[in-house]
Amino acid sequence: MYAKIGFGGREVGLLVLGPFAAMLFDLPIFIYKNYFLAINIGGALIPIILSLYLIKRLYMPLSKVIIGIALVSMATFFVTKVTDIGVVSYFPFYLLPSILAFLLSILLFSPHSEKTPGYGYAIATIGVLVGGDIFHLPEIFRKPFSGSMGGAGLYDMVYIAGLLSFCIIIFFMSKEIKYTPHYTKKLQKRDLYALDKKQSFLLLIKKVEEKAVELAKWHGIDAPPSIILKSLIGENAWKDYLIMKRKSRNPSMADVEKAWITASIIISAIEEKKKKWYATTVERCASFLFDFLIIGGISILFSILFYMKFFPSFLLFFFSTQFVYFTLFEYLSGSTIGKMVIGISVKEENMEKAEFMTSFTRNIIRFLDMALGFYFISLILIKFSPKKQRLGDLIAGSVVVKNM
């Protein structure tokens, strides 16, 4: 169900863990004399990026998006006020944006539309940020100010608005949306029982072909799956694949069971072949050291230019620069400068170029990786996980591989 409404594992991880991972980190956007305005990564940047992604992915009509955001923004403005600790709202008034977003979603779409949950989340979060922060900016800037959008008192309201509206909408969604079969990237036997015999057999063949094509990309080969299996895995895998193709016309349940075993063996052989391409712990640590020196130098320069208190400003610029640096470099070129020096790069698990949301998510979760013993847990995961993935990679669906 979640994949159909725009929330795959990556998006759910970003929705649930992202705000907690980055709630303490700000991205400066305006610095002048005694005025400092930032955007909180957990309370504002993540909801904005995720909302825009859902709007684009689900092809939501712009007119409905604008109407929803405008109405939620006005409601938020009237239930919030500026205090010494920032923009706040009190119970039960801070629930109004969530309820309004739910009602608008059901009214403008329907419980039968896969766009409804994403629409509710988008108008709830963006509406709260616009009505709670942007509409109050003239009042905030009447005197010297230091704060962040989506931070302090508004962080909880943004998080609650998005998550609560999403959960309420899911509860009221129609059965055909709720009970849509979900097929994960990993081959699982329970998927077969949701289909008839022929569909199950074809699913097994499809999984083998997908893995074969992934392996071919690692080797720079463009060929049919049968040729890939014969040249990279061996004669037996090639013969087994051809037998599966031949029996796919009218398979029995016994054929499906045998095909499950055959497909599992072929896929295991492919995964074993791919292991040598994953970047090692040493390579990733070395590349991070290069990047650390670059980010540290930039942070020192910004601290000298903008602040009197060096250490707090250095930390602020270090974490914000690190996030922007890794996200943009990995999305635009696949590698940071450190990774280029070592000869490794970030890819999707299927070896495609990393999407922006993949790069964004893995570097949001980087804050959580740092919090867990300053990458100690991540180093253990990279060392012992099958695809050498840290926590951010596991959630984002990315891998770090050696350049070919």
Read off the pLDDT of residues 14-24 as tens digits, 9 standing for 90 and up: 888 888 888 88
**pLDDT of res. 187:** 56
Of 392, 387, 356, 388, the residue nearest 371 (C-alpha): 392
CB 20 within 8 A of CB 368: yes
Examine the pLDDT at 364 and tell me if it is beyond 90.
Answer: yes
In our burial notation (b when 16+ CB lie closer than 10 A, e otherwise), range 249-271 reads eebeeebbebbbebbeebbebbe
CB 61 within 8 A of CB 123: no
Evaluate the omega torsion of the peptide bond into residue 92 and state whether it is cis, within 30 degrees of 0: yes
Of 171, 169, 63, the residue nearest 121 (C-alpha): 169
Q: What is the DSSP letter of 280?
A: P
The sign of the torsion formed by the CA atoms of 101, 103, 107, 111 equals: positive
Helix 9-16 × helix 356-371 angle, to 10°: 40
**pLDDT of res. 316:** 87
Share of the chain above pLDDT 70, in %: 93
- Give the residue with greater pLDDT, 393 vs 176: 393
Helix 116-132 × helix 46-57 angle, to 10°: 140
Across residues 106-134, what is the average pLDDT?
Answer: 91
Q: Residue 308: what are its φ and ψ, rounded to 5°?
A: -90, -45
Report how far residue 340's alpha carbon sits from residue 334's, in angstroms, rounded to the nearest whole number: 9
Per residue in 325-334, pLDDT (tens digit) is: 999 999 999 9
Lowest mean pLDDT among 144-158, 315-329, 333-347: 144-158
Examine the pLDDT at 300 and tell me if it is beyond 60.
Answer: yes
Q: Give residue for tokens 């059901």.
A: 106
DSSP-assigned beta bridge partners for residue 347 = 353, 399
Report how far residue 358's alpha carbon sits from residue 149's, in angstroms, rounded to the nearest whole number: 24
Across residues 194-198, what is the average pLDDT?
Answer: 68
Examine the pLDDT at 35 and tell me if it is beyond 90.
Answer: no
**pLDDT of res. 396:** 94
The alpha-helical segments, DSSP class H, found in 109-196 are: 116-132, 137-140, 153-172, 175-178
3-class SS at 221? Answer: coil
DSSP 387-402: T---HHHHHHTEEEEE
Helix-, strand-, coil-residue percentages of the chain, each rounded to 5: 70, 10, 25
3-class SS at 48? Answer: helix
Mean pLDDT of the chain: 87
DSSP-assigned beta bridge partners for residue 37 = 30, 147
Of 153, 62, 193, 39, the residue nearest 115 (C-alpha): 62
Examine the pLDDT at 308 and tell me if it is beyond 70.
Answer: no
CB 102 within 8 A of CB 173: no
CB 154 within 8 A of CB 132: yes
Examine the pLDDT at 185 and tell me if it is beyond 80.
Answer: no
Q: What are the contacts of 259-263 at 24+ separation with CB within 8 A?
A: 259/201, 259/204, 259/205, 260/189, 260/192, 260/204, 262/204, 263/187, 263/204, 263/205, 263/207, 263/208
Across residues 61-76, what is the average pLDDT?
Answer: 95
Per residue in 76-101, pLDDT (tens digit) is: 999 988 877 778 888 888 899 999 99
Report how far residue 290's alpha carbon sits from residue 285's, in angstroms, rounded to the nearest whole number: 9
